Amino acid sequence: MSAISPGTPAPLPPPGVRAAERLLAELRTEIARADAKAAVAVAALGVAAGVLGGLLAGQDWRPASLSPLGATTWWSGVTGLIVTLLALLMAVVPRRGRTRWAHGAPLSYFGDVQQAARSGHLAQALAETERVPATGALIALTETSRIAARKHQWIRVGLTALGASVVLLTTPLLIG
């Protein structure tokens, strides 16, 4: 039997919980977008490298035919492509929260649920999460925000390296 009668409205969550939940949903969407952007960029990088390699191989071109400055620029561009690939892959690497769940704390992350279940305290952890929803939401919001910022940081590094690589790879083809 429920303590709330059928005509009684449900109690309002503590201040800030709704905002935290809304922001958490937006951050999760942003993380998914960041992963999609990085995945598309990795795929485009692979296609571009394949096309460029095919064109150059078909013309029997070799980097050794470049002047010393051209060869240095070319290999710097190749290095930049490797940095681009690594940075974009770092953007899509799954990230875990930094906080560790402890008995008596609310759940805020799927890793917390696993830890609570392994320790045999899942039911108590769920009750604690429901009792203090703001704490769990704030922890989740903090960790998710950190993950989104890190993904965006790696995407910026990758796109910057890609831009530099395009210039470094095309310049030797123009100057020899």
* 27-36: Cβ within 8 A, 24+ apart: 27/141, 27/144, 27/145, 27/147, 27/148, 28/144, 30/148, 31/144, 31/147, 31/148, 31/151, 34/91, 34/148, 34/151, 34/152, 34/155, 35/91, 35/92, 35/151
Average pLDDT, the chain: 86
Q: Taking a C-beta distance cutoff of 8 angstroms, is the pair 156, 38 a contact? A: no
User: Within a 10 A sphere around the Cβ of 94, how many other Cβ atoms?
Assistant: 6
pLDDT tens profile 8-51: 776 777 778 888 889 889 999 999 999 999 999 899 888 888 88
What is the C-alpha radius of gyration for the chain, rounded to an integer number of angstroms?
Answer: 25
Supply the pLDDT for residue 1.
46
- Angle subtended by helix axes 122-131 and 133-175, to nearest 10: 90
The Cα–Cα gap between 113 and 120 comes to 10
* 10-14: Cβ within 8 A, 24+ apart: 13/133, 13/134, 14/133, 14/134
pLDDT tens profile 139-175: 889 999 999 999 999 999 999 999 999 999 889 878 7
Domain definitions of the chain by residue range? 19-175
- Please count the CA atoms within 13 angstroms of the CA of 123 that sit on its side-chain side: 1
Q: pTM for the whole thing?
A: 0.78
The Cα–Cα gap between 154 and 95 comes to 13
pLDDT tens profile 23-33: 889 999 999 99
